[in-house]
Structure 1
């Protein structure tokens, strides 16, 4: 049986009903639901970036409530749809520049892009660079909020391939997306979130909803 890496039990974030789900090593789980329902808030609560009203979150045997926030966020990484940047160039945001440079081409990014001003980069370029930033140090879990929303099909596929590689190396992904085709293509399991709760959806139901 696969190793459970993240367990969420009866988590209440904002006005959402209790959410319970788990992630296993090596899998990608997709989360869909109506716009404005609170998917981003849920991810932020899991990452300890905003408080939950109740519930528990465990990373293996470590409870979020008993783990220092910086340590938790280093192991459970949240990437917003438009991540923030605090320095003039992307290079200042990375720990290992040489390692990052070797991965740029895989995301269809130019060799010199990390030395350009952040303000001059497109939203799609910033999204892909933020993914590389989030993957540094091999976190246990990635929480991704619409990571390909600003990308063309080729760039989206490059991101998909990188996420598959991360999962194969033992990572786990919870990915929010409105793109049904991408969810079907990328996800090992699928959840739907609305005011009634968070429910797992079978592949057959996913296929039926796409007709």
Structure 2
């Protein structure tokens, strides 16, 4: 007698479980698979700070970056030998004016919270050539008048102007008679005819 009751309870339990799972499955499948965000997907974009370090002048410039994609960099044969880096293109985007990057790997460190990552990037100042303004004074001695005055820029270390520059700006219809090409008080005097 108990066997029949026990059998009836077991069959009822099996039916309840099979019906319950059939009704619950569509609830779990409501979100498409491609939109499910995994933990690794949520951490591939980070925010933090880049330390641009000028080691020649012993200066640091800190620049904030937001929501940038990181990449895995593998440095050995073992797949475990990887770490996250910011791509060079991303680091260049935040590069301060007047500096250039020293080639390297821009590894990501920190990250106790989402916005606390930091990246170290070595930089050096871009050498800007200093120039001086010089005016080329073309003078027709036979006519006793100035024909043209042309402003040019030359290196600050230069004490004379190249003959190619003098002929490039020579006024039309004139020929070069002579010049010592030396800069005197910001002028180069050129005799033309």
What TM bracket, shorter-length normalisation?
Answer: under 0.3
- The structure whose residues are more often helix, as a share, is 1
TM-score by length of 2: 0.18
- The structure whose residues are more often strand, as a share, is 2
TM-score by length of 1: 0.17
Higher RCO, Cα 8 Å, sep 6+: 1
Q: Which has the larger radius of gyration?
A: 2
